[in-house]
Amino acid sequence: MQHRIIPADRWEPFSDEHLARVVPVATDRIVRASAATDFTPRQAEMVIFDASGMSADGVRIWRAARRLGESANARARSSARLRFGGRTSSIGWIGWVLVLAALTGGLAFAAALQTKNVLITAAFSAATAMAVLVAAVGARGRPLDRGLWRPQAFALVGTAVAVVLVGGGATAPAMAVLVGAPIIVGTSLIAGIVIRRGRPQQAREVDESLTAAYREVIADLPAHVERLERETSAALPPERARFVERARTAVFERLRDDERVPEPARRRLARHGDAHAAGGVIIADLADPLTWLPAGLARSAYTADDPRHPDNRDG
């Protein structure tokens, strides 16, 4: 439902009178919103759309721009997965298999410590060894992501301690499983380290696979943003577009001089100025990689001297 600040029969839509009423209302609402630490410029333009009686247009643009970031995120992950299969720690299937190995290794330790049941402990140890073997076969002698040693180390400790706790009362078959599990896990862990050291270039590539994929997507992003801006301009009637641009210019000018607006919020708004067409602030803000990049990649996706790096931005 569209929000109207006064009854429809008391103003002519998109007239100077309408503008004079919208600007102070929008300004006041944005001033209040700017006090929040997570305030963003896209929220400011959305307020302007809403106060102008054009909330449906703003919501439509917002959703399209949000899909732009979601699509970029999906493309980066798909690219890394396609190039490196399951060998990346955060998105690859091998990582999840090794997490399962760590879990069953922990359960083997818990069963040995709490129940002293040899059969249950052996079953969990066997599951751990099987998971590690599946991961090793999947890697096919290629380097794994550097982060994947951790679940293997956890699995090794769990199965090794389990042998110590229940091995004395185990039958020969059970003892073979209990002893074999940490040997298999330890051998896989050592082999992985040897492979990485023997193929340092491949190891670096898989370590940086996700970061490299995001950098490629970021480089391609401006073309997608330009296409969305063209689609937005074509879909928004010229009279509405001009009104939003006029209102935004007036509101942002007031906000720059309003001492009630925190300085970080002013800096964020200042980055956008009047260079955008109607809806452009929403699009630019939601398409900004720092909006949709995973937190762990926000810094590594840019070089330290890049002005887009988080440390080189104001606000």
Neighbours of 243 (CB within 10 A): 23
φ/ψ of 309, rounded to 5, equals -65, 140
- For residue 270, the model assigns a pLDDT of 83
Residues whose CB falls within 8 Å of the CB of residue 220, separated by 6 or more in sequence, listed in order: none
Closest CA to 216 of 72, 90, 81: 72
- For residue 5, the model assigns a pLDDT of 42
Q: What is the pTM of this model?
A: 0.75
- For residue 12, the model assigns a pLDDT of 61
Which three-class secondary structure string do you get for the chain?
CCCCCCCHHHCCCCCHHHHHHHHHHHHHHHHHHCCCCCCCHHHHHHHHHHHCCCHHHHHHHHHHHHHHHHHHHHHHHHHHHHHHCCCCCCCCHHHHHHHHHHHHHHHHHHHHHHCCCHHHHHHHHHHHHHHHHHHHHHHCCCCCCHHHHHHHHHHHHHHHHHHHHHHHHCCHHHHHHHHHHHHHHHHHHHHHHHHHHHCHHHHHHHHCHHHHHHHHHHHHHHHHHHHHHHHHHHHCCHHHHHHHHHHHHHHHHHHHCCCCCCHHHHHHHHCCCCCCCCCHHHHHHHHCHHHHCCHHHCCCCCCCCCCCCHHHCCC
- For residue 91, the model assigns a pLDDT of 81
Find out whether 178 and 163 touch, Cβ atoms under 8 Å: yes
Cα Rg of the chain, angstroms: 28
In the predicted model, residues of the chain with pLDDT beneath 70 are 1-12, 273-275, 303-304, 307-308, 311-315
- For residue 6, the model assigns a pLDDT of 41
- For residue 271, the model assigns a pLDDT of 81
Measured N-to-C along each axis, helices 118-139 and 93-114 cross at an angle, to the nearest 10 degrees, of: 160
Closest CA to 307 of 283, 295, 287, 290: 290
301 vs 214: CA distance, rounded Å: 7
- For residue 2, the model assigns a pLDDT of 40
- For residue 48, the model assigns a pLDDT of 93
232 vs 62: CA distance, rounded Å: 11
16 vs 3: CA distance, rounded Å: 18
- For residue 116, the model assigns a pLDDT of 87
